[in-house]
Amino acid sequence: MEVSKLKQSFLAEPDFCPSCGAILMMPRHGECVTCVVCSFSISLDDLIGRKTTYSVEFTPVGVHSKKKSKEDVEDELGQMDNDRECSKCGHRGMSYTTMQLRSADEGQTIFYICPKCRHREVENS
């Protein structure tokens, strides 16, 4: 079986096509792996022989420890819901931010934080 010479668009993990990013199906027989989406082919030895490297960057201790002003805290907290009461300290008025974490036909997820005690709550709407 001849390996096609399609262009690799990016470096990918061995389970993913380096041309289109689709999940590769490992062959039952033979020496070649072929993408069912874009027809990229690579020999099994070349695919398994690739190495992936990772890097982790740490924030130095003390970088985020400076005292924040009231304006900094309000900017960080987001929008305010003045009717919501904190379940931990009873403070009325929690800030919130929203994200679409589930599928598009599901509601959004709302993350609340109490500006007084920093208690966090999550609500799926």
Q: What's the CATH code of the domain at 110? A: 2.20.25.10
DSSP the chain: -PPP-PPP-S---TTB-TTT-PBPPPPSSSSEEE-TTT--EEEHHHHHH---------PPTTTT-SPPPHHHHHHHH-EEEEEEE-TTT--EEEEEEEE--S-TTS--EEEEE-TTT--EEEEE-
Q: Are residues 88 and 116 in the same domain?
A: yes
pLDDT value at residue 41: 84
75 domain-assigned: yes
Q: What is the pLDDT of residues 46-97, one digit of tens each?
A: 766 656 566 777 777 766 655 656 555 555 566 788 888 999 999 998 888 8
The tally of domains found in the chain comes to 2
pLDDT value at residue 25: 80
Q: pTM for the full model?
A: 0.40
Q: What is the pLDDT of residues 27-37, one digit of tens each?
A: 776 678 888 88
78 domain-assigned: yes
Residue numbers of the domain that contains 17: 1-54
